[in-house]
């Protein structure tokens, strides 16, 4: 049985662990983006009914992990680009975003969620992260209950830096723990010591930050006992939120080349499925509930609202190289390389590389694809007649919850989560 994975984002073209909004190695095909970045007035339809979030992509890492195909760069890969200049460039894009959205005639909305992803955002000084958050606050204002998250590696923070982030207005930190087992971390080429995880969680708690821990399962050579050890260590830290992703071998990565040369075995789909089931069981025993295929939270208040905004069709502006944006059915993505991004910002033109306007059929398809994967489920009213006709068979096959269907929702069972791609195909009649 093949364990499913979350699609790369609502554009099906990018992710960043818990967050789902950065670029993979290939850009989707679409129309060229206008140099001025202006949006059609149609984006304001239903404006007040949707939340507005901001994603900030920080494309820098100290080292590149062998499995990673995110849009990230080490110092050797961005020669001629100063990391210290990045915050100013991102602020300039935020200021331009205000002008573009104002030009549509839409009222300004306070930002509901902000997510700093990467890369490793906490490679930037806290002063620069605070500057970026301050520019978002100045541009649109922040909702009174705004969720402000940064990703971090366990070896990229200190007690002082976490306290400073909290003082600047951050409310959550998402640590890339990945595993508690040294040989698994070595295969993934992660640089942190697993014994540091309890320490950084303690520091984050002392600063008043909510804590999420990101895990990866299915690494070649990882046993079920190894995976259980990682889950247990993560849960011993009493996090608010846990993300668990199956390792996917992306073409062009060092890991893919190692597998092609026979140096490392390929991940086993059946083992990954067993690991997903184990994670769901262990997390449920400790009081966590799944709310999206790869994410579990202690309660509704500790779900990642920014994560959910992608799956439920809200609006967000993506800032930085390779970041994706979506506003009112228009989707676009920035040029990938920091040098190209810096050049466009300096020239006063939009950093967008391409964009597309979703027609009604595409939007309906994506609603089915994305919303069916969250625990609150998909309204059956979103389905066409063939999709509704598939409901009885999906219940009989144990893939969706019968009681929820009677109440008008498509909610995946555990088996359905493992076979979510197949469920979606049947709901779409394909």
Mind listing the pLDDT tens digit for each residue in 181-225?
Answer: 999 999 998 888 899 999 999 999 999 999 999 999 999 999 999
The token duo for 226 is 């190894």
pLDDT exceeds cutoff 80 at 80: no
C-alpha dihedral (169, 171, 176, 179), degrees to nearest 10? 150
Check residue 244 and give its pLDDT: 98
Of 6-10, 98-102, 191-195, 375-379, the least confident: 6-10
Question: What are 219-232's pLDDT values in tens digits?
Answer: 999 999 999 999 99
What residues does 410 pair with on adjacent strands? Answer: 378
Residue 290: per-residue pLDDT: 98
Tokens of 34: 């206008």
Pinpoint the alpha helices (H) of 141-211: 159-168, 182-188, 196-207
Superfamily of domain 41-357: tm_1862 like domain (3.80.30.20)
- Whether residue 15 has pLDDT greater than 60: no
pLDDT value of position 412: 98
pLDDT at 29: 59
Mean of per-residue pLDDT scores for the chain: 91
Segment 328-350 shows an average pLDDT of 96
The answer to whether 298 and 240 are in contact (CB under 8 A) is yes
Residue 32 binned pLDDT confidence (cut-offs 50, 70, 90)? confident
Provide the 10 A C-beta neighbour count for residue 374.
20
391, 396, 401, 407: CA torsion to nearest 10: 50
Residue extents of the structural domains in the chain: 41-357, 361-427
Residue 315 pLDDT grade (very low, low, confident, very high; cuts 50, 70, 90): very high
Q: How far is the C-alpha of 352 from the C-alpha of 323, rounded, in Å?
A: 9
Least confident range of 76-85, 195-204, 281-290, 393-402: 76-85
Residue 104 near residue 47 (C-beta atoms within 8 A): no
Residue 249 is predicted with a pLDDT of 87
Looking at residue 28, its pLDDT comes to 55
Q: Rounded distance, CA 88 to CA 265, Å?
A: 44
- Enter the DSSP assignment of 29: P
- By CB neighbour count within 10 A (0-12 exposed, 13-18 middle, 19+ buried), where does 297 fall? buried
- Cβ contact 279:39 at 8 Å: no
Confidence of residue 146 (pLDDT cuts 50, 70, 90): very high
Query: What's residue 18's pLDDT?
Result: 52
Q: Are 370 and 307 in contact (CB under 8 A)?
A: no
Residue 12 pLDDT exceeds 70: no
Is there a contact between 170 and 121 (Cβ–Cβ < 8 Å)?
A: no
Q: How far apart are CA 97 and CA 279, in angstroms?
A: 40
Per-residue confidence at 3, pLDDT binned at 50, 70, 90?
very low
Q: Which has more confidence, 423 or 29? A: 423
Q: What pLDDT sits at residue 428?
A: 96
What percentage of the chain carries pLDDT values higher than 90?
A: 83
Which helix or strand (DSSP H or E) is residue 379 part of?
Answer: strand 378-379
Q: Is 378 helix (H, G, I), strand (E, B) or coil?
A: strand
Question: Which helix (DSSP H) or strand (DSSP E) does residue 274 occupy?
Answer: helix 269-285
Secondary structure (3-state) at 37: coil
Residues 6+ apart with CB under 8 A from 366: 10, 313, 358
Question: Does 21 have pLDDT greater than 70?
Answer: no
Neighbours of 27 (CB within 10 A): 16
In whole angstroms, what is the distance from residue 142 CA to residue 137 CA?
A: 6
Q: For residue 160, is pLDDT > 70?
A: yes
Q: What is the pLDDT of residue 360?
A: 93
**Is the omega angle on the peptide bond into residue 254 within 30 degrees of 0, that is, cis?**
no
pTM: 0.92
Question: CA 363 → CA 39, 248, 359, 371, distances in Å?
Answer: 18, 27, 6, 11
Q: Residue 354 CB: number of other CB atoms within 10 A?
A: 16
Q: Residue 144 is inside which H or E element, if any?
A: strand 142-152
Q: Contact 241/175 with Cβ under 8 angstroms? A: no
Q: Where are the alpha helices (DSSP H) in 208-247?
A: 224-236
- Sign of the Cα torsion 270, 276, 280, 286 reads positive
């Amino acid at each position: 049985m093949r364990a499913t994975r979350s699609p790369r984002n609502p554009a099906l073209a990018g992710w960043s662990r818990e967050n789902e909004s950065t670029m993979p190695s290939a850009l989707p095909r679409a129309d060229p983006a206008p140099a001025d970045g202006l949006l059609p007035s149609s984006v304001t339809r239903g404006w007040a009914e949707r939340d507005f979030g901001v994603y900030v992509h920080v494309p820098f890492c100290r080292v590149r992990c062998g499995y990673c195909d995110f849009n990230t760069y080490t110092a050797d890969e961005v020669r001629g680009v100063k990391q210290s200049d990045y915050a100013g460039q991102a602020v300039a894009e935020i200021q331009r975003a205000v002008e573009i959205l104002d030009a549509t005639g839409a009222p300004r909305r306070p930002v509901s969620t902000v997510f700093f992803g990467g890369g490793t955002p906490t490679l930037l000084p806290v002063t620069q992260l605070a500057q970026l958050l301050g520019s978002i606050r100045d541009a649109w204002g922040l909702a009174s209950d705004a969720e402000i998250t940064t990703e971090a590696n366990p070896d990229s923070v200190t007690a002082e830096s976490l306290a400073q982030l909290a003082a600047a207005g951050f409310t959550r930190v998402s640590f890339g723990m990945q595993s508690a087992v040294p040989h698994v971390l070595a295969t993934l080429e992660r640089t942190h010591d697993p014994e540091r995880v309890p320490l950084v969680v303690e520091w984050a708690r002392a600063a008043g930050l909510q804590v999420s821990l990101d895990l990866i399962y299915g690494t070649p050579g990882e046993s079920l006992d190894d995976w259980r050890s990682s889950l247990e260590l993560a849960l011993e830290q009493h996090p608010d939120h846990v993300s668990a992703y199956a390792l996917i071998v992306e073409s062009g990565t060092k890991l893919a080349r190692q597998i092609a040369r026979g140096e490392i075995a390929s991940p086993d789909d059946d083992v990954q499925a067993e690991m997903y089931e184990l994670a769901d069981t262990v997390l449920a025993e400790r009081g966590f509930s799944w709310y999206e295929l790869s994410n579990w939270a202690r309660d509704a208040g500790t779900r990642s609202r920014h994560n959910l905004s992608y799956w439920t069709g809200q609006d967000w502006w993506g800032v930085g190289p390779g970041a994706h944006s979506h506003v009112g059915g228009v989707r676009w993505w920035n040029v990938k390389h920091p040098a190209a991004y810096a050049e466009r910002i300096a020239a006063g033109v939009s950093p967008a590389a391409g964009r597309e306007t979703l027609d009604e059929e595409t939007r309906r398809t994506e609603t089915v694809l994305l919303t069916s994967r969250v625990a609150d489920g998909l309204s059956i009213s979103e389905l066409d007649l063939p999709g509704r006709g598939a409901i009885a068979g999906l219940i009989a096959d144990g893939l969706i919850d019968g009681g929820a269907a009677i109440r008008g929702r498509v909610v995946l069972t555990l088996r359905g989560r493992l076979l979510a791609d197949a469920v979606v195909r049947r709901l779409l009649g394909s």
